[in-house]
Amino acid sequence: MSRTRKRRLMNQINVVPYIDVTLVLLVIFMVTAPMTNPGVVDLPSAGQGVLKQPQLPPIVLTVKKNGSIEFESKSLQRDALLLAVRAMLTQSPERSVVIAADKNVKYDDVIGVMDLLKRNKVDKVGLLLKPAP
């Protein structure tokens, strides 16, 4: 009689080959990732022909540290300021309004002036900034 040995089923998975393959793939991706060139965009350039004629100088409103608003070196209340700006815009509607605020002014004061102008149909409103050196 011959003795045959029965094979027992394994109830565990050998994961060592999977770990090896994963590490090889990780090394491949780490080596090739710096070689790719992600997101290179060739932007179009605009020449002098695209630019419009020189614009009129903007209307400058100055917000001081104490929250007062100056227009043409006169301190004005919000209603008088709005009337003066609207009068200047009726003469030349293509002009824009620029707010020059001290860097220590509360953000709320600047936004309040912008909101006042926007609510009263003054569309071209911006902020005046000092260029970086």
Residues 6+ apart with CB under 8 A from 88: 59, 95
Token representation of residue 116: 């006042």
Indicate the pTM of the whole model.
0.56
- All structural domains of the chain: 59-127 (3.30.420.270)
pLDDT digits 0-9 by tens, 82-96:
999 999 999 988 889
pLDDT band at 27, cuts 50/70/90? very high
Model confidence pLDDT, tens digit, residues 36-79? 765 444 444 545 444 455 578 888 888 888 888 888 888 888 88
